[in-house]
Amino acid sequence: MAISRARKEELVETYREQLQRSNGMVFANYSGLSVPQMEELRGEALDNDGEIFVVKNTLISMVLQNADIAPPEGLFNGPVLMAFCHEDVPPLAKLFRDFAKEAEEGTFEIKGGFLEGNFLSPEETLSIADLPGRDELMAQVLRSINAPATQITGAVASGVRQIMNVVQAYVDKMEEGGASAEAAA
């Protein structure tokens, strides 16, 4: 289906803007997906700070070349679905991996990815899907930072408890001594 020159220019500008905003990309072959499946995938991508486009291969190739990015041979053959990752790449790679597992065989296959100036093979893209996301990493770092402080707090509290126990024992002993002096009187 031929599209007008104006529409092509609009798509090129959209791809260029997406590329500038992106920290990475994930590519897939999507032949055979239904419209509801595609809409579900797009909605989940938005929830993960990304946007998905069915790209015109010649136009996206042109945008990448203008950005001095040389895609590997065969990446833009056939129907290509492209996710632009505006924040973290792992959540969208996970989304694509999980979607590929659920889809009928041959209808959705990961073709690769792009991260930090390098194109990734499908296997490398799947390995990125196993990485924790930014929020998960931040939580792990905070736990690591808090662990020593928690241990110090516990040690100090333990010392204070021991001192309080000694003082309480002394007070109890004094009260017993006072009670026995009163009984003797």
Per DSSP, the residues of 150-179 read HHHHHHHHHHHHHHHHHHHHHHHHHHHHHH
Whether 100 and 183 map to the same domain: the answer is no
What is the model's pTM?
0.67
Whether 109 and 151 map to the same domain: the answer is no
Whether 100 and 113 map to the same domain: the answer is yes
Whether 29 and 101 map to the same domain: the answer is yes
Mean pLDDT of 30-42: 86
Give the tens place of pLDDT for each residue, 2-19.
788 898 899 889 989 988
E strand intervals along 30-173: 50-55, 80-85, 109-115, 118-120
Residue 93 CB coordination number (10 Å): 27
One-letter identity of residue 167: V
Asked if residue 175 has pLDDT above 70, the reply is yes
Whether 127 and 137 map to the same domain: the answer is no
Mean pLDDT of 54-58: 87
pLDDT band at 100 (very low <50, low <70, confident <90, very high): confident
Pick left, alpha or beta for residue 98 (phi over 0 → left; psi -120 to 50 → alpha; otherwise beta).
alpha
d(CA 59, CA 75): 13
Question: Quick one: pLDDT at residue 17?
Answer: 92
Percent of the chain with pLDDT over 90: 11
Whether 38 and 98 map to the same domain: the answer is yes
- Which structural domain range is residue 180 located in? 133-185
- Domain end: 131, 151, 167, which one? 131
Whether 28 and 117 map to the same domain: the answer is yes
CA nearest to 24, candidates 76, 97, 83, 95: 83
Whether 103 and 157 map to the same domain: the answer is no
- Domain end: 88, 104, 131, which one? 131
Asked if residue 182 has pLDDT above 70, the reply is no
Question: Quick one: pLDDT at residue 148?
Answer: 77
Whether 102 and 127 map to the same domain: the answer is yes
**Tokens describing residue 102:** 């659920």
Give the tens place of pLDDT for each residue, 138-171.
787 888 887 777 777 777 777 778 888 888 888 8
Whether 118 and 139 map to the same domain: the answer is no
Question: Quick one: pLDDT at residue 169?
Answer: 87
d(CA 111, CA 26): 8
Question: Quick one: pLDDT at residue 143?
Answer: 81
Give the tens place of pLDDT for each residue, 107-127.
888 898 998 888 888 899 888
One-letter identity of residue 178: G
